[in-house]
Amino acid sequence: MRRMAVLATGIALATAATGCGAGGASDAAGGTKDSSGAVTLDWEMWAGSEDEKAQLDHLAQLVSKQDPKIRIKLRTAPFNDYFTKLQTEFAAGKQACIVSLQSLRLGAYADLMEPLTAEQGFAPAALKALQLDGRQLALPYDLASMLVYYNKDAFAKAGIAEPKAGWTIADFEKAAKTLTAGGKAGFGMSLSDLHTLSMLLTYNGAEPVTDDLKLQMDGKPMVDALTWYAGLAEGTGASVPAGSSEGGWGETQFLNGNAMMAVDGSWNVGSTLKDAKFKVGLAPLPAGPAGSKTYIADSGFGVAKSCPYKEQALKAVSVLTGVEAQTYLAEVGRGFPSRTEQQAVYERFLVKQDQTNAEAVRQAMAAIRDGLAGGVPLFTTKNWDTVNKLMAQYLIQTYTGAQSPKDALATIQQQGARGQ
């Protein structure tokens, strides 16, 4: 049976405390107990803004609301720094009791996490993405697939049909080429793993990792798929990232109106519909020979094996991923919920956010569900952060024509395989 290791992340530490009360500073094990028997649990999570921290703080308060004897001390860091910090903390024995994990990076922490019992109400794909060797290592709070975001105004002006379920690679290429005009690109390319690898997957089924989680970046399917993707820069005039650090290039160029299409995750539906100065459409990834394919990913919360208060931590995780918590996150538009009943709440939030975008919201939800129905988890190596950096470093050379896809992938394979 295929092993599961999958997904939606040093630091100037931004700490928000919830109900810390008695007990003082947390010890190295990630939790403390005061003389009254109340337990304070450290919770490690990423956050990119004060609004996100406030949302997490609200979830933490839900735990204490359900059990006043459990208090949560929230520790946050930016997503791009989070996993570096997490590795450092585990190595130093200073990890939190409650650990937030992304499915793409699950493999690196599998031996450090307490196996959990899957609860009812979650979408099966959300649970599957946070499993390894049959062990549920975290409970999910969101679920994501990759979509094509497109500029409806640009399609209308060019007189070409909008993307929809069943559109093909050939349709995509034709649209990208037609829309490249007047200094604008028909498509914005990416260096990010989910974005780029999902396009390679839908093109010919290329996968970067074997069934037993070994890197296979230099295989023929990957070479053929990257040769096609890199060729979009010349063949369709697709916009190439300005540098290897521009991981979010495609989606940024799209939002700025400089690229008429881009691949991005379903987690950005709400913000893109809100911030774009043009009408936004969403569609599944274009279909290759096996149909439209996308990688799916999610994030969730688990309990460190080292936690001295596992019973309380398990209860806290159940609340943090429970119905009330997911309803709240859906109502504030945090992301597509992992619990199926709360997904309609998220859709209502998007419509309420801007009544003029109701049609786009329905289109987006249909595209998300289409992607999830045919999506597969992205299997990764334990050193995926290293592989991801190598991808950014060498793939951009293939986009600019400085190196062949075959040679770039061979280098990624050679260097990435050392630490897997």
Q: What is the residue whose two structure tokens read 């040679």?
A: 407
Q: What is the residue whose two structure tokens read 């929230």?
A: 74
Same domain, 64 and 127: yes
Q: What is the residue whose two structure tokens read 């007189």?
A: 159
Same domain, 116 and 172: no
Please report, to the nearest 10 degrees, the dihedral formed by the alpha carbons of residues 126, 83, 218, 373 taken in order: 10
Same domain, 253 and 302: no
- Report how far apart, in Å, the C-alpha atoms of 167 and of each of 27, 178, 194 are: 55, 16, 20
Q: What is the pLDDT of residue 167?
A: 96
Domain end: 338, 369, 395, which one? Answer: 338
The three-class DSSP label of residue 392 is helix
Q: What is the pLDDT of residue 343?
A: 93
Same domain, 283 and 415: yes
pLDDT digits (tens, 9 = 90+) for 107-116: 889 999 999 9
Residue 21 falls inside a structural domain: yes
Looking at residue 400, its amino acid is T
Q: For residue 191, give both structure tokens.
A: 């260096």
Pick from 286, 292, 261: nearest CA to 276: 261
Same domain, 283 and 326: no
Q: What is the pLDDT of residue 274?
A: 86
Q: Are strands 376-377 and 295-297 parallel, antiparallel or unpaired?
A: parallel
Domain end: 309, 338, 367, which one? Answer: 338
Confirm if 304 and 75 have CB atoms less than 8 A apart. no
Confirm if 144 and 137 have CB atoms less than 8 A apart. no
The three-class DSSP label of residue 201 is helix
Residue 114 falls inside a structural domain: yes
pLDDT digits (tens, 9 = 90+) for 243-301: 999 989 999 999 999 999 999 999 888 889 889 999 999 999 999 999 999 999 999 99
Same domain, 168 and 288: yes
Q: For residue 419, give both structure tokens.
A: 């630490």
Q: Which residues constitute the domain of residue 236? A: 145-296+356-419
Same domain, 72 and 192: no
Q: What is the pLDDT of residue 18?
A: 38
Task: Give the integer Cα–Cα distance in Å for 171 and 286.
Answer: 8
Question: How many structural domains comprise the chain?
Answer: 2
Q: What is the pLDDT of residue 24?
A: 44
The three-class DSSP label of residue 24 is coil
Task: Give the integer Cα–Cα distance in Å for 402 and 236.
Answer: 18
Same domain, 193 and 304: no
Task: Give the integer Cα–Cα distance in Å for 29 and 32.
Answer: 8
Domain end: 338, 369, 389, which one? Answer: 338
Pick from 145, 168, 151: nearest CA to 286: 168
Same domain, 201 and 67: no
Q: For residue 145, give both structure tokens.
A: 């697939």
Same domain, 54 and 38: yes
Residue 343 falls inside a structural domain: no
Q: Give me the DSSP letters along 309-327.
A: -HHHHHHHHHHHTSHHHHH
Q: What is the pLDDT of residue 9?
A: 33
Q: What is the pLDDT of residue 12?
A: 29
Report the CATH number that the domain containing residue 400 is assigned in CATH.
3.40.190.10
Give exposure, 247-275, as e/b (b: 16+ Cβ within 10 Å).
Answer: bbbbbbbbbeeebbbbbbbbbbbbebbee
Residue 382 falls inside a structural domain: yes
Task: Give the integer Cα–Cα distance in Å for 418 and 420.
Answer: 6
Q: What is the residue whose two structure tokens read 């916009």?
A: 239
- Report how far apart, in Å, the C-alpha atoms of 383 and of each of 44, 92, 107, 121, 135 are: 20, 19, 8, 32, 20
Same domain, 189 and 269: yes
Q: How far is CA 338 from the centre of its chain?
A: 13
What are the average pLDDT values for consecutive 10-residue runs of the chain, which has 420 residues?
Answer: 33 34 50 93 94 95 97 94 92 94 91 93 92 93 94 97 95 98 97 96 96 93 98 96 93 97 92 91 95 94 96 97 96 91 92 78 86 85 91 97 98 90
